[in-house]
A and B are shown apart, each in its own frame.
Chain A
Amino acid sequence: MREHPGQRHEILRVEDLAVGYGGRLVLRGVSFCLNSGRFLTLLGPNGAGKTTLLRSLAGLLPLLGGNIQIDGRDLSQISQVELAKAQAVVLTDRLSPGLLTAYEVVALGRHPHTGFFGKLSPGDHQAVERALAMVGAEDLASRYFERFSDGEKQKIVLARALAQEPRLILLDEPTVHLDLKHRLEVMSILRSLCRQMDIAVVASLHDVDIASRVSDQVALIAEGGLAGFGPPERVLDDQAVARLYQLEHARYDSRLGVMELNGGQRHGPVLVVPGGGAASGVLRLLHKRDYALMVGAAHQGDIDTHLAQALGAEVAEAPAFARPTPAVLDRCRDMLSRAAAVVDSGFPLGSANQDNAALLGQALQQGKTVFSLRPPKEGRRLLGRESQEVIYCRDETELAARLSEHFHPSVRNLAAGVGLCRD
């Protein structure tokens, strides 16, 4: 197959496109171009028109305006067979080909290349075998397609598209019914198509975080047009994603590349003393249990800091790898005074964290309840005499249970009385 990585050329150009069904305009004014070997992801809420755009690019829907050029030629000038040689399509349609083996399904992809009766030449067989090897499905070849799991089916469907030996592949939600393993597998296959075979990929996806990892370009589709186009690093910031999906109960963190649900903040507030990523687990768990979180002092660039911000916690941020400034320490003390409980995340002890250790000492002096994820021995060394007040927990789950008892003592009594699990 074609292998000229490095020499990129324009494979798809879309100019002022208007798409829709019959009289109903779905998207208008869509313009972009895509080079060979590049991965373009279409992002947007359900019903925004991603599928409509893909079906129009595939030639399955008549255009309502504008034009599409594939490899420099106008879509309307290309015969259907020529188009099929340049471009393969993976749809969400469920396949039920009856008694066909995986090999035969993949071989159907040779349709535009074979003669009148569709007889496969040795070259066609090689192309089928290469396609099966690309998706790692050689061992499935002689089995009936209909007996496969969704993940196996999707790999064969991809192989069928590859057997067409296209320069451009369009995929409509290629991972939608798949479990995590196959989702990642399919994405990595698509990624390697771009990298190794110089095929351009246009795919609609639902996961913003996966899209930001695999795509060279993303197109944001909303409100009847293209709301953004470019590399994900530039286009996918927190506000753009929130606007795109009109997020109200979640937020996107572009630095971590993850979506976080907004918490209820019904209990607390709890001050979590972080450091070196030690607090990530407890922050996630307490956030999930609807605690209002305060975090300090948190060092810039620490994963705990990013996560705390992504979760919407109140954060006292200190410079990276340095002791907090007096202003930051003031802020920490203020948070401590408001906190209904304090959590020691078990951060590593170092010179930059010594103020956090001192903060825990102050908490005990003020009579705050301190929960610690540190081994008791280490805790005694750190906090000295006051440390017997500390409630030591083996892990985050136990900590959450103890916190819950702390805030709802009646629940503990009830739970103890009837022997309920206290989680």
Chain B
Amino acid sequence: MDPTQAKARRGAVVLPLLGLALVAVFWASLNLGSVASSAGEIWRILWGQAAPGSLEFIVNNIRLPRSLAALGGGAMLAVSGLLLQVYFRNPIVGPFVLGISSGATLMVSAVMLTTLTVGLVGVMPYLTPVAAFVGALGAMSLVLAIASRVKRGVTLLIAGIMIGYLSSAVTSLLIAFAEAERLKGFNLWQLGSFSGYTWHELAVMMSVGSALLVLVYGLSKQLNAFLLGENYAATMGVHVRRFRMALIFTACGLSSLVTATAGPVAFVGLAVPHMARLAMGTSDNKLLIPATALIGALVCGFCDIVARMIFAPVEAPLSAITSFFGAPVVIALLLKGRGRQ
């Protein structure tokens, strides 16, 4: 008798299926766009067999990095959300609950809405992502500093939310005094988008992100102990404070990386862990982490396609699509049952 076998078998079926679906979404993402293309052409371009031309340029420098960014970013946001949901034992917690997006938004608003950096724009092409990353890191360092002091997760959660409010307060002051035409660009950034990714940005996000994901999988044993709560985890041998630092570092790191380049993409980090739990029928993080990453990539990739197609050639805001698509799905899944935690 070993009931864990059944779960493992389910994982052996569901995970490859998710992988296949992911390949399909990736392929669709390369094929769909305002410039018409045939599947054969895309295939040849991918393998470097096509002659240089406008389509070749579009696929290699726009669609390919964008698709990869959407998939990678989705996976990272979702795993970040999962980590914080397990740690705070709270199902409505997402990757931005500790003020990561607010910190990033604050710095971006400082860059985009004020004249502080007028001279710099020409000098630094990556000003916005760098500002966002600095903001996210600032919020994260503050949270980590608090995390090393407090005894209980709840205190940290409240502190994180307060940091978020403080950053938002400063941001809204900046908005109040900003010029109207600057506001539009800022508003669009706030809604998140995977368009306009450069290979440089992608390389940074993917390499650091993959390292963090590997680190997260290494935390899965302790994460499972945390399913019983902080006290039980401690009595089973988990070094709670050290684990908390590792968890906050990876969770915030993952969401900071995505936010810096894509802006705050709503909803994915909050909802995907629920979908993963229901798909896998377990809260065992060894299965849940890969499933969450795959479903996060799927959802984000799919929503990115919708965002660029639905009002083409105008780009729809990504956060709007993820929420439109995801919120009803989560409600339906939860009502169907088994969705507690």
Contact = CB atoms under 8 A, between A and B. Distances in A.
The answer on A and B forming one complex is: yes
A95 B226 CA distance: 11
B1 A129 contact: yes
A89 B232 contact: yes
B212 interface: no
Contact of B227 (A98, A103, A116, A138): A98
B228 A105 contact: yes
Interface in B167-200: none
Contact of A118 (B2, B3, B221, B280): B221
A114 B4 CA distance: 15
B141 interface: no
Majority SS at the chain B contact face: loop
A109 to B, nearest CB: 7
Contact of B229 (A87, A93, A112, A146): A93
Interface string A48-60: 0000000000111
A96 B85 CA distance: 13
A100 B227 contact: yes
A283 to B, nearest CB: 46
A383 interface: no
B234 A104 contact: no
A93 B231 contact: yes
Interface string A81-110: 101110111010101111111011101110
Contact of B3 (A84, A88, A116, A142): A142
A99 B275 CA distance: 12
A196 B3 CA distance: 28
Contact of A84 (B1, B4, B7, B237): B237
Interface string A111-131: 110101110100001000100
A46 interface: no
Interface stretch (B18-26, B92-100, B282-290): B282-290
B322 to A, nearest CB: 23
Which of B4, B228, B234, B284: most chain A Cβ within 10 A? B228
Nearest to B229: A93
Given A104-B4, A118-B224, A97 B283 contact: yes
Contacts of A89: 231-232, 235
Contact of A108 (B3, B6, B236): B236
Contacts, number: 102
Interface string B253-276: 000000000000000000000000
Contacts of B277: 98-99
B44 interface: no
A157 to B, nearest CB: 9
Nearest to A102: B3
A95 B232 CA distance: 9
B238 interface: yes
A91 B232 contact: yes
B336 interface: no
A103 B284 CA distance: 12
Contact of B283 (A60, A85, A99, A112): A99
B238 A80 contact: yes
A141 interface: yes
Contacts of A81: 237
A35 interface: no
Given A91-B232, A111-B225, A125-B2, A99 B239 contact: no
A280 to B, nearest CB: 45
A84 B235 contact: yes
A104 B2 CA distance: 10
B153 interface: no
Contacts of A91: 231-232, 235
B232 A80 contact: no
Given A89-B232, A93-B229, A98 B1 contact: no
A123 to B, nearest CB: 13
B340 interface: yes
B244 interface: no
Nearest to A79: B237
Interface string B200-222: 00000000000000000010110
Contact of A59 (B232, B235, B284, B338): B235
Contacts of B281: 99
B61 interface: no
A305 interface: no
A125 B7 CA distance: 15
A111 B231 contact: no
Contact of B338 (A60, A87, A97, A99): A99
A422 B3 CA distance: 59
A117 B225 CA distance: 12
Nearest to B227: A97
A215 interface: no
B283 A111 contact: no
Contact of B235 (A58, A99, A104): A58
A104 B284 contact: yes
A164 interface: yes
A108 B224 contact: yes
Contacts of B234: 59-60, 80
Contacts of B89: 96
Contacts of B117: none
Contact of A117 (B220, B236, B282): B220
A10 B218 CA distance: 38
A117 B221 CA distance: 6
Which of A97, A103, A138: most chain B Cβ within 10 A? A97
Nearest to B282: A99
A99 B228 contact: no
Interface in B5-42: 6-7
B341 A96 contact: yes
Contacts of A101: 3
B99 to A, nearest CB: 26
Interface string B330-341: 000000001011
A91 B232 CA distance: 8
A103 B6 CA distance: 12
B228 A107 contact: no
B340 A146 contact: yes
21 contacts: A58-B235, A59-B235, A60-B234, A80-B239, A85-B237, A89-B231, A91-B232, A93-B232, A96-B340, A97-B283, A99-B277, A100-B283, A108-B225, A109-B236, A111-B224, A116-B218, A118-B221, A125-B2, A141-B1, A144-B338, A160-B228
Given A60-B231, A95-B229, A97-B227, 16 more contacts: A59-B235, A84-B235, A91-B235, A93-B228, A96-B89, A97-B341, A99-B277, A99-B281, A100-B284, A104-B284, A108-B228, A111-B238, A118-B224, A142-B3, A144-B338, A164-B236
